[in-house]
Amino acid sequence: MKVAVFWFRRDLRLEDNTGLNQALTSGLPVLPVFIFDDNILSDLPKNDARIGFIYKTLQSIDKKLKEEGSSLLCLKGKPEAAWKQLFSMFEIAAVYTSKDYEPYALGRDMGIKKLLQEKGIGLHLFKDQVIFEENEVVKDDGKPYTVYTPYKNKWLSHFDRNKVKPQTIIGNFVQETFEFPEMKELGFIPSNIEVKPYDLSQTSSYAKTRDYPAQDATSYLSPHLRFGTVSVRQVIAQLKNSDVTFLSELIWREFFMQILFHFPHVVEGNFKPQYNGIEWRNNEAEFEKWCSGQTGYPMVDAGMRQLNQTGYMHNRVRMVVASFLCKHLLVDWRWGEAYFAEKLLDYELASNNGNWQWAAGTGCDAAPYFRVFNPTEQIKKFDPKLEYIKKWVPELNDFSYPKPIVDHKMARERAIETYRNGLNN
């Protein structure tokens, strides 16, 4: 029996899944497959919370499929080896999957496409994780935007809410069941950190509340968009026309994705090469204090402890802790980016890289280098009653709480001078 394979990657849902819908209307029974990719997994800790979330999500998909007499086939290994295993198990007529725009994924898909072509099998890729992909929102001359506001304006001019409608799924799955693997078979163990369900009930007040971490008024949507447990179309369908601030955050996500696609050098280097001359201090002891939330700056410490304990950090606080690392401590933004990549439940290369370079001043449309957040003033503005801080830094008023590791005025002047010298070199 010939089958069409649907390859789940960053679209872990049965509802409103473009590539899956296309596979199901191909006229062939669809074999749903997920590959635990050793190229990605080998660097992760055994109790990585994101793997736990993926595992539970796949388990749920498998359960739904079993209700229809089908199931999800999970394989583990390097993608090419996994596909060779699939060739030996099934007569595959076509492969359907969602596009991914990150450098590793693009290389992986080129390799798999070549492998499939040798077997006479077509690889069908579909836009799914974005509203507009890399070349759909560009300048009039066809070049990519590198400044957010004109990109957003062009994005909105192309956007038609009536065309962003979630699709209904029609089942035509291979009627065969596979045993779902135990987590330990995959080499992982459960984590104490959980991904929270997303909540879009407060999007109307998002613009007013989003900067106040104690209010806990964010949607917790980002890990779900990252792993595709909900589609961006499903999210936008629930927004009101007045939810412009929330929508603009979704547009930032696509802006950074197209930056990563068009300027892949940002993965390892500064978007703006004129910043290559900055002499980072990279003091390891100070970096460790930043990582563990022991800097003596309460908002910085609260944010880092929230990250370490939950995998989340409020967006306003992310800006404060990132600015503090790059400007106050003069630690290379790549150190902070790597630490966030290890800890964040919503880690996504494009957004993480884009936001770190924004904070460091080295990125596209970045904060100017002479803008240095004052962590104490940020408390007065955004956590004046210390509700957020006391939750994560309970020893705030005790003698055990460390003194500030650096003086703000001195650090600010040092940062500005270091950046200015680096730019002049």
- Do 32 and 24 touch, CB atoms closer than 8 A? no
pLDDT tens per residue, range 51-100: 999 999 999 999 999 999 999 999 999 999 999 999 999 999 999 999 99
| CATH fold of 1-129 | Rossmann fold (3.40.50)
φ/ψ region of 50 (left if φ > 0, alpha if ψ in -120 to 50, else beta) reads: alpha
Q: Kindly report the average pLDDT of the chain as a whole number.
A: 96
Alpha-carbon distance of 293 to 288, in angstroms, equals 8
Residue 194, pLDDT score: 95
Please give the pLDDT value at position 162.
Answer: 86
DSSP symbols for 202-241: TGGGHHHHTT-GGG------HHHHHHTSS-HHHHHHT--T
Q: What is the pLDDT confidence band of residue 368, given thresholds at 50, 70 and 90?
A: confident
Note the pLDDT tens digit of each residue in 10-53: 999 999 999 999 999 999 999 999 999 999 999 999 999 999 99
Per DSSP bridges, beta strands 122-126 and 91-98 are parallel
C-beta neighbour count of 24 within 10 angstroms? 21
As a whole number, mean pLDDT of residues 391-402 equals 96
| Sequence ranges of the domains in the chain | 1-129, 265-424
**How many C-alpha atoms does 284 have within 13 Å on its Cβ side?**
0
Q: What sign has the CA pseudo-torsion 17, 20, 25, 31?
A: negative
What is the reported pTM? 0.95
Distance in angstroms (rounded) separating the CA atoms of residues 333 and 190: 31
Average pLDDT of span 265-286 = 97
Asked whether the predicted pLDDT for residue 367 surpasses 80, the reply is: no
pLDDT for residue 168: 78
Q: Which CATH superfamily does the domain covering 265-424 fall into?
A: DNA Cyclobutane Dipyrimidine Photolyase, subunit A, domain 3 (1.10.579.10)
β-bridge pairing 2-8 and 30-37: parallel
Within 10 angstroms of residue 101's Cβ, the number of other Cβ atoms is 20
How far apart, in Å, are the Cα atoms of 35 and each of 85, 90, 192, 351, 422? Answer: 11, 16, 24, 24, 45
* SS3 of residue 93 by DSSP: strand
Tell me the per-residue pLDDT of 284-330, one tens digit each, with 9 for 90 and over. 999 999 999 999 999 999 999 999 999 999 999 999 999 999 999 99
Cβ atoms of residues 320 and 303 within 8 Å = yes
* Tens digit of each residue's pLDDT (9 = 90 or more) over 336-357: 999 999 999 999 999 999 999 9
Per residue in 125-179, pLDDT tens? Answer: 999 999 999 999 999 999 999 999 999 999 999 999 888 888 877 779 999 999 9
